[in-house]
Amino acid sequence: MSFCHLFFEGRVVELDLYSFVYIAYICQLMIKLIFGLIVKFL
């Protein structure tokens, strides 16, 4: 979550529930993609 926080830190966004869920969903996709690439290359 800290990586995602750093990634979105540049934006000033007033976090309502919808935007929080949206950001969490994007972070989850990014983490899955990164781990998928790691597993693929190992």
pLDDT of residue 2: 59
pLDDT of residue 24: 86
Take residue 39 and report the two structure tokens written for it.
Answer: 């597993």
Alpha carbons 28 and 14: distance in angstroms, whole number: 20
Give the side-chain half-sphere CA count within 13 A for 22: 8
Residues 21 and 15 sit within 8 Å (Cβ to Cβ): no
pLDDT of residue 27: 86
Residue-wise pLDDT tens digits, 1-42: 455 565 565 554 555 677 778 888 998 999 999 999 999 988
Which pTM value belongs to this model? Answer: 0.50
